[in-house]
Amino acid sequence: MSEDTKPHSITPTADGEEKPVLGGMYSDYFLDYASYVILERAVPALEDGLKPVQRRILHSLWEKDDGRYNKVANIVGHTMQYHPHGDASIGDAMVQLGQKDLLIDTQGNWGNVLTGDRAAAPRYIEARLTKFALEVAFNKKTTIWAASYDGRNKEPVALPMKFPLLLAQGVEGIAVGLACKILPHNFIELIDASIAALRKQSFEIYPDFVTGGIADVAEYNDGLRGGKVRVRAKIEETKKKHIIKIVELPFATTTGSLSDSILAANDKGKIKIAKIEDNTAEHVEILLHFPVGTDAVQHIPALYAFTDCEISVSPNACVIVNDKPQFLSVAELLVLSALETKDLLKQELEIRLGELGDKWHFSSLEKIFIEKRIYRDIEECETWEAVMAAIWKGLKPYLKLLKREVTDEDVARLTEIKIKRISKFDSFKADEYIKGLEGEIAEVEKNLKNLTRYAVRYFEGLKKKYGKGRERKTELATFEKIAASKVAVANETLYLDDANGFVGYGLKRGDGKAIAKCSRLDEVIAFGTDGAVRVIRVDSKTFIGKNPLHVSLFDRETDKSDIYHVIYRDGRQGAIYLKRFTVGGVTRDKVYDITKGTKGSRILYFRHFKTEEESLGDVAEIHLKPALRLRNLNWPVDFSEYTIKGRGAKGNLLTKHSIAKILRGSK
């Protein structure tokens, strides 16, 4: 595109005025909107693993925290001074945070992740921060602040999160041209992996879902795009043979959605259920009743194949790094989180060291001021300057005992000491206090020198205090992919009306003959007398051509290697060919020709065998029409002497003479 044809937001007119161009405005505004949605609504930040609305909710809870529960409606209203998108979005986001049972301590009806029931209205439910949240997510001294959207308040740019919250909670968001889906992981395993990352050891982490279930993570791909996790419901047997029980759900499903998928599969004839009974309360319990006399366990593969008892989840780990979206693996996210935690702990230690240093400095200064009776030197001073000069003069011999320089602010602070404190000053207690400060300073300095070890102890402390009851819920296993056609219930009868050329399960019994029991996922292969071959899906009624030569169910896995023996005439008066072949791979509803394709060709002999061994005994007796100088009018043809070829091969020339008949013989 040339410079002249590029869209611009502003373009000059003939008289020199500048007017906006619609194309340029649309481009600029769309990019602004897309950037806003990505950065401010849909994708979490790397630093704390939170979206802006979640961060603002937690900040509001922290501001109002007094150890007691607050009405959610009150928290929502307080959050609105930071989040400009209305109370509905804040309330929904808060319920989602509360249901994760990690940062928010809930009270009241917060809904049910198992059944999908919604939470009560915000005015009826209450919340407060958990002790875990207060320990890992908040520190005013290490938080970077920014002005809120209206400039009236200060809000955190990111919470000082000392835990891989992003991987523990998981997150999902859809932006403009970008999506994010990070699956939740196990609390204890994340702590163990963080310790391994700090020690520069290898580790592996896999998703863990609050609904439990069984997960196959063979293709997880470390949470990057292109990976997937297959999750199954956990199904158990009961005392009654025709009843099975679902006790754990796949991720992102509820008992209601799972039951609906089972009923839909039953209506389509893929499975056969007599009754569904949902007894879910605190724990999942869905009873599936199959017809009496059947073994319910045999239907489990069909449940995995046709219902939401098995689903596939595709992760897409995307986070905001330096105001830009980046795709990172969960291992990279965890290492970055562990290093961020280590850095925050370092900041806290450095701040603590500075505070302890200030306390030691002033306590020592105060001790000198009182013990050396410097306060008496200011009794006769009449001006502030004289007071300051007297104190400086009295302190001068002892300045070398201090660890840093004394400032005018330090001296001014000494004048604020009350007489009552001076009169009750205990030199021994002061020395003990200073020794205690020195011990704390030494401990902090030791931790700063051994920062990795200190961070490891921090994570171990989190695990000890908050790890109880957070064991893995989702079982990890490897399971084979179930072919739907293999487990579909064969509850239909396939009929063939060869006179009119129809096949299907919807034909009436009197209209045709029964071929086999089938399911609606099965396929049928049909050979016509003209050499046309087609594979079609079983349906109520399908036309395949009048008087078909052969019709049967077709299994792509096993029947593609079946052997067919054919003798056909090429055209109306052409030569006779013999063909021994397999069907191989075929496309559904596409018509193939096993002859040369000449108009008027006709199949004169046809046989079908499941194995090559069965086909070896096939012999055909050829009888020719009498003709001048033709002596040998009949002879046997042994098919085993010919090579098995592909479906498209023309075959071997048998004779150029006309055939009267072909009889089936044997060796």
Q: Give me the active site residues, please.
A: 124
Q: Which helix (H) or strand (E) holds 243?
A: strand 243-248
Placement of tokens 């084979």 in the chain: 480
Neighbours of 66 (CB within 10 A): 7
What is the biggest distance separating any 2 CA atoms in the chain, rounded to whole angstroms? 155
Task: Using DSSP, state whether 517 is helix, strand or coil.
Answer: strand
Q: How far apart are CA 576 and CA 578, in angstroms?
A: 7
Q: What are the residues whose beta carbons fall under 8 Å from the beta carbon of 496, sequence distance 6 or more?
A: 502, 503, 507, 512, 513, 515, 548, 551
Neighbours of 293 (CB within 10 A): 7
Q: What is the DSSP letter of 385?
A: H
Q: How far apart are CA 391 and CA 411, in angstroms?
A: 7
Q: Which helix (H) or strand (E) holds 542?
A: strand 542-543
User: Which residues, listed in sequence order, are joined to residue 319 by a DSSP beta bridge?
Assistant: 326
Report angle CA 516, 520, 521 to the nearest 5 degrees.
100
Burial of 151 (0-12, 13-18, 19+ CB in 10 A): exposed
User: Which residues, listed in sequence order, are joined to residue 286 by a DSSP beta bridge?
Assistant: 246, 278
Helices (H), 381-426: 384-395, 408-414, 419-423
Q: Which helix (H) or strand (E) holds 180?
A: strand 179-182
Helices (H), 519-572: none
Placement of tokens 């396939």 in the chain: 494
Q: How far apart are CA 637 and CA 622, in angstroms?
A: 7
Q: What is the bridge-based pairing of β-strands 171-174 and 179-182? A: antiparallel
Q: How far apart are CA 221 and CA 330, in angstroms?
A: 9
Helices (H), 529-663: 612-615
Q: Which helix (H) or strand (E) holds 496?
A: strand 492-497
